[in-house]
Chains A and B, each alone.
Chain A
Amino acid sequence: MNATMLLIFDALLLASIIGLAWAALASADARRSVILFIAFGLLLAVAWGRLLAPDVALAEAAIGAGLTGALLLAALQWQPRKTADTTNSEQPTHTLLETGFRWLVTLLCAALAGMLAWSLTQIDAGTAKDALANAVAANIDASGVSNPVTAVLLNFRAYDTLLELAVLLTAVLGIFALGPAQAGYRIAGPVFTSLTRWLTPLLILTAGYLLWVGAHAPGGAFQAGATLAAAGVVLRLAGRDQIGLPRGNALRIALGAGVGMFLLVGLALFALGRPFLGYPPAWAGALILLIETAAMLAIAATLVSAFIGGQPTEEKTRC
């Protein structure tokens, strides 16, 4: 009985996700696409939860549904509006190149989907998948944390996370190359201001909770960083000038904190005669929390910089 109902639930959820993805891609109006994409992200978070992957669901809920939606809406604002949002907006005319490009992307996506499906059939139950899970489970005691996802991301495969943070740092340099950020939006009305008053502290508190809980349950620096960045986004939308983002050298330190702390810990361990990022088990928990705290600040600063769309202007030059 329960299994049947969950099966119907799964089928409906799948149909909704595919339908929303299709509608978002097929829409001629960019703003409609963005709203459909936000709904798509919300449902995708539920789907990851249904697949018993709460870590991915958390990341999708924070980054996919919330922040990306806000980022895309902000990006739309800079783009001149062409058509009003109506259901029957005229189809844009495509050049031959555009059509060819669309087909190329479609074919590449289909090839990727085919490869993934093929690799699914190749995975024998009880070989590669379980071998990795067993290897993590066997060494979890030495990792300093009890959440296997955090153990892999910050200990067993710490190199990957270090390089991911380096990618974020590179991205923010690209954003700064766009020039100074635009001035904040105008002051919000009373309803929005009161929403800001309780939403901002809740977001900051939740970010701290996610950072701390990541050691033994789903959570961690990426989800916490995105939640913290959301607090900055809300303040920015409310027209505040100060959105918690430091300026000048303090901002540079915050943006580089993730990579910097990783390298500092890695090199310090190197100097003490251990392998690069090979934490001593007794210290692993504390070192992971230290790196994750720095990474959270760096991720949040990066995402807020992306939202304001440029380098924040220096205090001195403001008029």
Chain B
Amino acid sequence: MTELLAIVTLGLMFSLFLGLLRILRGPGAGNRMLAAQLIGTTGVAMLLLLSLLLDQYALIDVALILALLAAVAAAAFTGQQRESGHD
């Protein structure tokens, strides 16, 4: 069971790497922000898996905060886009 968890965690890491490519290449600010959101969502999933792998149940709380606050950062970004009339 823990092996399966480790494999899935590693798989998520590779998906995160693809997100990194997008955030570095862009081209627009919107692309980058969506890639950052993908990294955030992947981070939430990784934290949940790590909480089981490492027997650290507090990491579930970290995942909760990360999910909520990543949404705030995205909201701030869209607010700024609307305001500046960009994209």
Contact = CB atoms under 8 A, between A and B. Distances in A.
Interface string B44-87: 00110011011010110110111011111101111110111000
A36 B25 contact: no
A206 B76 contact: no
Q: How large is the interface on B (under 10, 10 to 19, 20 to 34, 35 or more residues)?
A: 35 or more
Interface string A178-213: 000000011011001001000100110010001001
Contacts, number: 190
Secondary structure of the A side of the interface?
helix
Contacts of B76: 69-70, 73-74, 233, 237
A73 B29 CA distance: 12
A237 B79 contact: yes
Nearest to A37: B36
A207 to B, nearest CB: 10
Interface string A96-111: 0000000000000000
A65 B7 CA distance: 26
Interface stretch (A40-48, A167-175, A251-259, A265-273): A40-48
A114 to B, nearest CB: 28
A43 B43 contact: yes
B83 A185 contact: yes
B69 A66 contact: yes
A199 B70 contact: no
B30 to A, nearest CB: 9
A65 B40 contact: yes
A213 B76 CA distance: 28
Interface string B3-43: 10011011001101100100111111100110110011001
Contacts of A35: 23, 29, 32-33, 36, 77
Interface stretch (A55-63, A124-132, A292-300): A55-63
Given A185-B79, A230-B69, A230-B72, 7 more contacts: A32-B32, A39-B20, A43-B43, A69-B73, A77-B83, A188-B79, A227-B65
30 contacts: A1-B6, A5-B10, A6-B9, A9-B13, A12-B13, A12-B14, A13-B13, A16-B20, A32-B26, A32-B29, A39-B36, A43-B43, A46-B43, A46-B50, A54-B56, A57-B62, A58-B58, A61-B69, A65-B69, A73-B73, A77-B83, A85-B32, A186-B82, A195-B71, A217-B58, A218-B58, A223-B65, A227-B65, A233-B75, A237-B79
